Amino acid sequence: MAVGLIGTGMMGVPMGLRLLAAGHDLRIFNRTPVKAAPLLAAGAVWCDEPMALAAASEAVITLVGGPADVEAIYLGPEGLIEATAPGGLLLDMTTSSPALARRLAAAAAARGLDLLDAPVTGGVGGARDGTLSILVGGEAAALERARPLLQALGRTVTLQGPAGAGQRAKLVNQTIVATTLLAVAEGLALALEAGHDTKALMAAIEPGTAGGFVLNNHGRKMLAGDFAPGFFVRHLLKDVELALAAGEEEGLRLAGLALVRDRLRRLVEVGQGESGVQALLLAVERTEDA
């Protein structure tokens, strides 16, 4: 399929490489052209602006920074919804806001386009290995059109509901992950501060009620003092802010998540924005801080 990809960052590059490997023709655009180099080397074609890319593609995937970028690319002057011919297929795989996803879908429908929100979980490793979980919001028929592309990118592709539901599912996931990181950080801080034998501790608690991906992965990194990024603090902060806003739209005040946001902000302020999210351990408060 002739596919356009806008956004060739940490996720976009490995995802684009998988589309090329699956035999799709790939046109790309990125605000920072140098980041697209690995895709150009693998056979992708550069486009100087999104309109030209849209005109030449049967389907366009966007993977940009956040809702403001998404809004500009889709709804701005010379935006994708204007630039795409009726019958076109647009997939926003950026983690963004459910409300914006609904606005995009309505604007697309008015022009006879299919549009899906399709954010992912599984990180850079999942993007490279094609094992992402892709959370889709929109019409089932549009998902069937997109499936050949999505199957090259992810292992699990689930229709979460109408437009916006993919974004909401992603934000539910990030809400749980973010506050579970706080849980693990506070528990392990107690062990570390007391000089507890953390090997004996993990042997006892990992298989039990405290066990899960966050303890087994991020928790082990906390104990090792390894704050190298898998997923950046500043990216989790962005997702947490989106989730808090989505909660407010539903009339919810997610107080645990707000506490995590405050800690992530503090980490960014002290220059830890590009540490891995397990750096939340460093934000556990001491009584003398109070």
Query: What is residue 219's DSSP assignment?
Result: I
Q: Of 55 and 123, which CB lies nearer to a copy of itself in the complex structure?
A: 123
Q: Of 56 and 158, which CB lies nearer to a copy of itself in the complex structure?
A: 158
At residue 196, φ and ψ (nearest 5 deg) are -65, 150
Q: Of 127 and 171, which CB lies nearer to a copy of itself in the complex structure?
A: 171
Q: Is 170 a catalytic residue?
A: yes
Token output for 4: 């356009």
3-class DSSP state of 228: coil
CB of 61 to a copy of itself, least distance (A): 19
Please give the Cα distance from 281 to 64 (Å, whole number). Answer: 29
Please give the Cα distance from 45 to 182 (Å, whole number). Answer: 43
Count Cβ atoms below 10 Å from residue 191 Cβ, excluding itself: 17
Decide: 80 and 107 in contact? Cβ < 8 Å: no
Q: Of 21 and 204, which CB lies nearer to a copy of itself in the complex structure?
A: 204
Token output for 3: 């596919």
CB of 234 to a copy of itself, least distance (A): 18
Beta bridge partners of 121: 133
Please give the Cα distance from 54 to 71 (Å, whole number). Answer: 16
CB of 209 to a copy of itself, least distance (A): 5
Catalytic option among 170, 199, 221, 238 = 170
CB of 89 to a copy of itself, least distance (A): 21
Catalytic residue numbers, as ranges? 170
